[in-house]
Structure 1
Amino acid sequence: MKARLMMVGAGLSGAVLARQCAQAGYDVTVVDARPHVAGNCHTARDADTGVMVHTYGPHIFHTDDDGVWDYVQRFATFMPYKNQVKTTVAGKVYSLPVNLHTINQFFGTAMRPDEARDFVAAQTSDIPDPQTFEEQALAFVGPDLYAAFFKGYTEKQWGTSPSNLPASILKRLPLRFNYDDNYFFHRHQGMPRDGYTALVAQILDHPGITVKLETVFDPAEADQWDHVFWSGPLDGFFDYKLGRLGYRTLDFELFRADGDWQGCAVMNHPDADVAHTRISEHKHFAPWENHDKSVLYREFPRACGPDDIPYYPIRLAEEKSLLADYVALAETASNVTFVGRLGTYRYLDMDVTIREALDLADTFLAARTAGTPAPRFSKAPL
């Protein structure tokens, strides 16, 4: 008999793993508690406007991984897309990431790249090894740009002072001394023409895969399968017996408009006296389409409760301590591999999620062939 595999979660991790294992001859069942595939990158047409809406917030595909780029293009047509974010600060609009235009506009100057580089360097603090977000920002852009573009946004996003957050959060954001306002620097950038849900549905379209939506998997039934891949919350697999890992969640406030409401896909609002962090206008995520009306969402971050959708793992000292306990508990579980953003309690971009799933599939199939244990995690959480 063919080995029977269970994929818990029909997001990118579960879909890619299911496809790779099905192609290798396994019978794979994919279950998801939601009524749709694609997880948090689910997209759907708005009935009133025809706009393709990113239901759980904007997702832009970007990668330098040629293998991942080739993989997703097997299942969807990708259209060129450049993420050009704007931000409203004290009643004025600037471009992000912070670039030469942002610097010159903010300071009322007309500096060349070398002049701007020296100007910003003169404002930064000499902090050889920044440990916190705030220290990294002061060493990165200095106090004025930090206060305007980063401080308020970060406090709203994470619900705490930037002095309590790790420097790594800011290290992945670029600072440019030219007029390039492309938010990402990867060679491959785009959007699936028909949305992410269509992409994931195509990945799952294989005779060896059975998909069951609106189905909750009971971890107590794991021993009924040859192997289980769990992409749900790591602590959830153990019924939160040690306590809950901390996440931030998002509330979305929908509103509609005629025509073009804000002129861009994403407008950040870092001012502390504005409750939301950003507004997304979803028709701009598909610039190859034309729509007379618009669908927009204001985003309000807050602490994640038991019944909320977890978005961003907090990963501060308290959470890391609890995470270590759950990792130790996971090592005692048999027949289960924890995968993806929730299963490994890490923030992952879509391309990294796919890469880890592809690599895990290779490792798992090789282990089955060799008769050796499968890895416990797609990537070590700590």
Structure 2
Amino acid sequence: MTKHCLMVGAGLSGAVIGRLLAEAGHKITIRDTRDHVGGNCHTLRDPETGVLVHVYGPHIFHTDDAEVWEYVNRFETFLPYKNRVKTTSQGAVYSLPVNLHTINQFFGQTLRPDEARVFLEGKADTTITDPQTFEDQALRFVGRDLYEAFFKGYTIKQWGCSPTELPASILKRLPVRFNYDDNYFFHKFQGMPENGYTAMIARILDHDNIMVELNTPVTRAEAEGFDHVFYSGPIDGWFDFRLGRLGYRTLDFERFDYQGDYQGCAVMNYGDVDVPWTRITEHKHFAPWESHEGSVLYREFSRACGPDDIPYYPIRQVAEKTLLADYVELAKAERNVTFVGRLGTYRYLDMDVTIREALDCGRAFLASNGAEMPAFTVNPL
């Protein structure tokens, strides 16, 4: 039986679920408050320089999920791209993540991999046996010198608090490589869409059964009348923030232009706490197959997210998780609404994970054969 479903949000979650259901014969309406599709992945060609700009900050596609990689390439050609991040710290430039070159340069050594392991172990605080905080984790594995040069100041600026207040889990794995590999990601498939993410998402949405309505906010009351709603907006926003607002960090972008090549790389971090921005991104380097004389750059500043700001990074500390649990209970009492994506589940998600979860969610809907869908197909807690 054909159903009419509403997707709240024209980002990756809404587009992927909408396309899957549309191809199965269902009618899809997609509404978004912004004047463009793509959510925070939105890309736009700068009219003056021709540079393809990542409007809400850079998005680099990387995944080990072969099906997801095949999916995005169905709608856009992905060209090879390796993210090689640099950082300016204490008056010098280094490669990230910390690798053998970084170690040798920073300490003025010519260590081989095995020697570097022993050397760093000597720098590490081995009295920390069960790291509980971000700082504990860093001190245990890289020692104070590297921690203060590359992690401490950047983390304070990014999260607005001391690393002693952040959980060790933020440093998920040993942040050091004992070789000269400076590729920021480990994943098998890495690339950038040749014509940008907005072009890709527009193609995903290009189906006779999909109607897109931009500049169209959706309230809970306005979502009535549809057979099912897939909501990718903020979960607390669905309930008009009645229990309070979940905490996020947001970003401010300070654009500046340059004639030529400003920094020679796409991403330059700034590890010193007295430099107010976290990084500078030079967007023409995200498309190395293109050539542009002019350059578009952004200084990024992280701060607490206010009611009128764009939410970027969910904080997910103890207080936020407690509030989230209360909203999850409210969500489970809803009928015919499924909460999806980064904002709908209050989780930081890479693009490939967002697409994977959207594919799984859409398939679960198709397999339900009219049975009621749960509020979540992934546990947000």
Residues 148 and 270, structure 1, Cα contact 8 Å, conserved in 2? yes
- Counterpart of 2:292? 291
Answer whether contact 1:41 1:196 (CA < 8 A) is retained: yes
Q: Any residues of structure 2 matched to 1:1-382 within 5 Å, and which?
A: 2-126=2-126, 127-172=128-173, 174-367=175-368, 369=369, 371-382=370-381
Q: List structure 1 segments (4+ residues) > 4 angstroms apart after TM superposition.
A: none
TM-score (norm 2): 0.98
Aligned residues: 380
Structure 2 CA distance, aligned partners of 1:272 and 1:69?
Answer: 37
Q: What's the RMSD between the two structures over aligned residues?
A: 1.0
String of CA shifts for 1:4-52, please: whole Å, max 9, x gaps: 0000000000000000010111000000000000000100001110000
8 A contact 2:80–2:191 mirrored in 1: yes
SS in structure 1 of the partner of residue 311 of structure 2: coil
Deviation at residue 136 of structure 1 after TM alignment: 1.1
Shift of 1:173: 6.8
| Unpaired stretches in structure 1, ≥5 consecutive residues | none
The answer to whether the 8 Å contact 1:89/1:149 transfers is: yes
- Aligned residue identity for 1:379: V
CA distance in 1, matches of 2:189, 2:305: 33
Cα distance in 1 for residues equivalent to 2:147 and 2:8: 41
CA contact (8 A) 1:357 1:378 kept: no
Deviation for aligned residue 1:365: 1.1
**Quick check: 2:141–2:174 contact (8 Å CA) kept in 1?**
no
- 1:176 offset after TM fit, Å? 0.5
Are the equivalent residues in 1 in contact too, given 2:69–2:189 (CA < 8 A)?
Answer: yes
- 1:222–1:335 Cα contact (<8 Å) kept: no
Deviates more, 1:134-143 or 1:26-35: 134-143
Q: CA deviation at 1:172?
A: 5.0
Per-residue CA distance 1:131-152 (angstroms, 9 max, x = gap): 2111111122111111100000
Letter in 1 for 2:10: A
Structure 2, gaps ≥5 residues long: none
- Name the SS of the counterpart of 1:86 in structure 2: strand
Conserved 8 A contact 1:83-1:184? yes
Shift of 1:167: 1.3
Aligned-partner SS, 2:303: strand
- Whole-Å separation in 2 of the counterparts to 1:76 and 1:239: 37
TM-score by length of 1: 0.98
Aligned CA distance change for structure 1 residues 65 and 174 (closer, same or farther; 3 Å): farther
Q: Distance in 2 between matches of 1:175 and 1:38?
A: 34
8 Å CA contact 1:30–1:212 kept in 2: the answer is yes
Any conservation in 2 of the 1:364–1:375 contact (CA below 8 Å)? no
Shift of the 172–25 alpha-carbon distance from structure 1 to 2, 3 Å rule, reads farther
Q: Secondary structure at the match of 2:265?
A: coil
Partner AA of 1:372 in structure 2: A
Q: Following the alignment from structure 1 to structure 2, what is the Cα–Cα distance between the partners of residues 174 and 361?
A: 36
